């Protein structure tokens, strides 16, 4: 957690990064009462259950149970480790990062490797950029001119040129980087013959891949002439790059969202599609860098927008890719529509031939998944031929049968009627006679966490929560009167008593400095901060009941101990003393 960093610096960091402002940069917030609320960015929900306590500077989701402070939030939302989360917040607050004392050699080596790889990739991007402007990259420049890319867009995307296979490895070695780190970066590979270091994208036009933090993490390259090699190639996965978890142009999407908000995203397949749309004014574009959209990419997209347009190529492979991507996005609770493109054209082609207005018309014609499936299906059949029309109807009814909404099924049947000339009544009868399509299992509603805690544990939770969140009736309570069996409860109680003795304010957000956010008991204690549970009309009485329950348990435990000792005692006088003590405790318990 705070390993290697001065606690005073971390507290200053948190003071300068207001949690509401930070989270508000990622999700839409609404203020209700004393808290801010949002749909949880870490699980799927339609009703907001993600709450931010502005006074105490922590968040808690009453749906999935996640909780934390500003560092935890950045770590989870940006998918980075603790130190990188601190670095992001330090840059945001314009605080210099202090020296860190790492407590293990492994941690130090992991950081060294990651920093070395990022430094090599950054220097490689500058090397490629210098090549493009060197006067020796005629083929690369000509390709850019042929694609009608402006110089400003070329600069914005950091396009570069690899001139050969040898110069990049030598450049990096001359910079003082080790052979091992250079290979670790993925920008350089070993030749098949001789094991020499070579540029992994030798001779290609270079597209730097930049993550949401602004770091160059990989490169894509395009060949410039006819070749047996793949037209596009990415550098391999490394300690800083996993293709399935990145989206091309996500760095500029993040800036756009912070600057002016973001209504939706356009998802394309390749680098040039993204750049071409960006130049045409569609700046809300990302590329999946391949047709197989992954769940991680879908979740990354959802962080920035709830509405996504899939705009893959107009050929059959692209259409199938669009359907797969749409289903993945739909499963992640993203509102998705497919942009139909003319047969054989990709978004870049549409921009070139029809201009921004032509592509805008394609966006306006975007359709839901079931409609798009039917449209793709119709292209496979010649409806002027009786047998093919019948085959199309049979396949179309299977697709329509998967739709749960009766009104949508009715609308689709009418569309199928108009397309095939078959009567609505006969289509409806055939649909009703179709074997029922297996429906995907509905995602179960988040069941309340099973809580087998008896009244003692619940009493401990309520007492600790009342003191953590500053309930007036708990202000002067002497916590030493209570004995806690759970080690988490004991640590929290010790923290509260230390602050009370020092005359300092008890901070609920300190829980995330004392424990990992997944520690058992934390969600149950934080859940008590919702609504009027701690300050409602019955809260003070319940607090007193909880104290009484725990004191009764303490007395009962002592009575049990004395009773066992009395039963085993043979000396009459000692037995009488134990009996008197038991009687006194019994009266004391009755008077509580």
Report the distance separating Cα 458 and Cα 533, nearest Å. 13
Residue 128 included in any domain: yes
The answer on pLDDT for 196 being more than 80 is yes
**Tokens coding 450:** 């099973």
Residue 272 CB partners (closer than 8 Å, separation 6+): 147, 222, 348
306 and 395 in a single domain? The answer is no
Helix, coil or strand: residue 138: helix
Place of tokens 């009996």: 579
Task: Please give the pLDDT value at position 531.
Answer: 61
Task: Please give the pLDDT value at position 445.
Answer: 38
Q: Report which of 429, 465, 480, 459 is spatially closest to residue 547, judged by C-alpha positions.
A: 459
Task: Please give the pLDDT value at position 320.
Answer: 59
CATH code for position 393: 1.20.50
CATH code for position 318: 3.40.1360.10
Q: What is the pLDDT of residues 174-192, one digit of tens each?
A: 999 999 999 999 999 998 8
61 and 140 in a single domain? The answer is no
Once rounded to an integer, what is the mean pLDDT over residues 381-389? Answer: 89
Residue 303 CB partners (closer than 8 Å, separation 6+): 26, 41, 77
> What strands lie across the sheet with 58-61, from one edge to the other?
30-32, 35-38, 50-53, 58-61, 67-68
**Tokens coding 277:** 């749309």
Three-class SS string for 371-402?
Answer: HHHHHHHHCCCCCCCHHHHHHHHHHHHHHHHC
Residue 287 included in any domain: yes
Once rounded to an integer, what is the mean pLDDT over residues 538-559? Answer: 89
The answer on pLDDT for 447 being more than 50 is no
Q: What is the pLDDT of residues 261-308, one digit of tens each?
A: 788 999 998 899 999 999 999 999 999 887 578 888 887 888 788 789
Using the 8-state DSSP alphabet, how is residue 345 labeled? -
Using the 8-state DSSP alphabet, how is residue 249 labeled? T
268 and 360 in a single domain? The answer is yes
- Between vectors from CA 291 to CA 286 and to CA 297, what angle results, nearest 5°? 50
234 and 262 in a single domain? The answer is no
Number of domains in the chain: 5
Residue 197 included in any domain: yes
551 and 585 in a single domain? The answer is yes
320 and 400 in a single domain? The answer is no
Global model pTM greater than 0.75:
no
Residue 210 included in any domain: yes
Report the distance separating Cα 111 and Cα 5, nearest Å. 14
Task: Please give the pLDDT value at position 441.
Answer: 45
Once rounded to an integer, what is the mean pLDDT over residues 14-26? Answer: 91
460 and 581 in a single domain? The answer is yes
Residue 442 included in any domain: no
Boundary-marking domain end, from 93, 125, 153: 93
Q: Report which of 196, 206, 103 is spatially closest to residue 163, judged by C-alpha positions.
A: 206
Residue 448 included in any domain: no
Boundary-marking domain end, from 183, 211, 241: 241
* DSSP character string of 320-361: HHHHHHHHHHHHTT-EEEE----TT--HHHHHHHHHHHHHHH
**Cα radius of gyration (the chain):** 32
349 and 384 in a single domain? The answer is no
499 and 579 in a single domain? The answer is yes
Q: Are 221 and 162 in contact (CB under 8 A)?
A: yes
Q: Which domain holds residue 425?
A: 375-433
134 vs 405, more confident: 134
Q: What is the mean pLDDT of the chain?
A: 85
CATH code for position 227: 3.90.980.10
* Overall residue count recorded for the chain in this entry: 592
Residue 535 included in any domain: yes
Report the distance separating Cα 531 and Cα 328, nearest Å. 36
98 vs 264, more confident: 264
34 and 71 in a single domain? The answer is yes
235 and 298 in a single domain? The answer is no
Measured torsion, CA atoms of residues 321, 387, 371, 352, in degrees rounded to the nearest 10 = 60
Place of tokens 């899939």: 310
Residue 301 included in any domain: yes
128 and 208 in a single domain? The answer is yes
Report the distance separating Cα 112 and Cα 104, nearest Å. 13
Boundary-marking domain end, from 399, 433, 467: 433
The answer on pLDDT for 103 being more than 60 is no
| β-strand pairing of 285-287 with 160-161 | unpaired
Largest CA distance in the chain: 110
């Amino acid at each position: 957690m705070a390993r290697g960093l001065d606690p005073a610096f971390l507290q200053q960091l948190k003071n300068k990064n207001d949690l509401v402002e930070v989270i508000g940069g990622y999700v839409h917030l609404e203020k209700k009462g004393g808290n801010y609320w949002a749909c949880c960015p870490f699980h799927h929900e339609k009703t907001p259950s993600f709450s931010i306590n502005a006074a105490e500077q922590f968040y808690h989701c009453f749906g999935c149970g996640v909780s934390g402070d500003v560092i935890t939030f950045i770590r989870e939302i940006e998918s980075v480790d603790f130190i990188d989360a601190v670095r992001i917040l330090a840059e945001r607050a314009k605080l210099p990062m202090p020296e860190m004392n790492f407590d293990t050699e492994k941690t130090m080596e992991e950081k060294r490797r990651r920093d070395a790889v990022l430094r090599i990739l950054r220097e490689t991007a500058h090397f490629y950029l210098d090549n493009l402007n060197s006067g020796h990259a005629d083929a690369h420049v000509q390709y850019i001119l042929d694609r009608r890319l402006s110089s400003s867009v070329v600069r914005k995307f950091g396009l570069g040129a690899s001139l050969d296979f040898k110069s990049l490895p030598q450049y990096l070695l001359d910079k003082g980087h080790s052979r091992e780190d250079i290979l670790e970066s993925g920008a350089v590979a070993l030749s098949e013959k001789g094991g020499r270091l070579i540029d992994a994208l030798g001779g290609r036009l270079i597209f730097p891949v930049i993550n949401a933090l602004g770091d160059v993490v990989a490169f894509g390259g395009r060949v410039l002439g006819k070749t047996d090699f793949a037209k596009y190639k990415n550098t391999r996965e490394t300690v800083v790059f996993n293709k399935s978890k990145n989206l091309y142009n996500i760095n500029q999407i993040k800036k756009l969202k912070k600057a002016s908000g973001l209504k939706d995203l356009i998802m394309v397949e390749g680098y040039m599609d993204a750049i071409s749309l960006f130049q045409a004014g569609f700046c809300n574009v990302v590329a999946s860098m391949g047709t197989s959209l992954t769940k991680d990419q879908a979740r990354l997209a959802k962080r920035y927008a709830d509405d996504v347009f899939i705009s893959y190529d107009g050929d059959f492979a692209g259409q199938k890719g669009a359907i797969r991507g749409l289903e993945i996005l739909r499963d992640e609770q993203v509102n998705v529509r497919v942009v139909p493109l003319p047969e054989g054209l990709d978004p870049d082609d549409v921009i070139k031939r029809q201009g921004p207005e032509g592509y805008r018309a394609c966006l306006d014609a975007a359709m839901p998944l079931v409609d798009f499936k039917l449209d793709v299906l119709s292209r496979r059949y010649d409806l002027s031929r009786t047998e093919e029309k019948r085959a199309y109807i049979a396949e179309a009814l299977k697709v329509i049968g998967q739709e749960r909404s009766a009104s949508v099924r009715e609308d689709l049947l009418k569309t199928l009627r108009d397309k095939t000339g078959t009567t609505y009544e006969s289509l409806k009868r055939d649909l009703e006679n179709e074997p029922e399509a297996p429906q995907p299992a509905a995602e179960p509603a988040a069941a309340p966490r099973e809580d087998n805690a008896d009244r003692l544990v619940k009493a401990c939770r309520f007492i600790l929560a009342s003191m953590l969140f500053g309930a007036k009736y708990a202000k002067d309570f002497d916590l030493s009167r209570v004995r806690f069996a759970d080690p988490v409860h004991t640590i929290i109680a010790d923290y509260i008593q230390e602050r009370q003795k020092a005359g300092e304010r008890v901070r609920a957000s300190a829980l995330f400095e004392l424990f990992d956010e997944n520690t058992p008991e934390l969600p149950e204690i934080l859940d008590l901060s919702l609504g009027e549970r701690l300050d409602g009309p019955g809260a003070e009485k319940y607090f007193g009941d909880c104290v009484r329950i725990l004191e009764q348990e303490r007395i009962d435990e002592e009575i049990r101990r004395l009773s066992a000792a009395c039963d085993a005692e043979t000396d009459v006088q000692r037995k009488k003393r134990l009996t008197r003590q038991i009687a006194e405790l019994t009266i004391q318990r009755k008077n509580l």
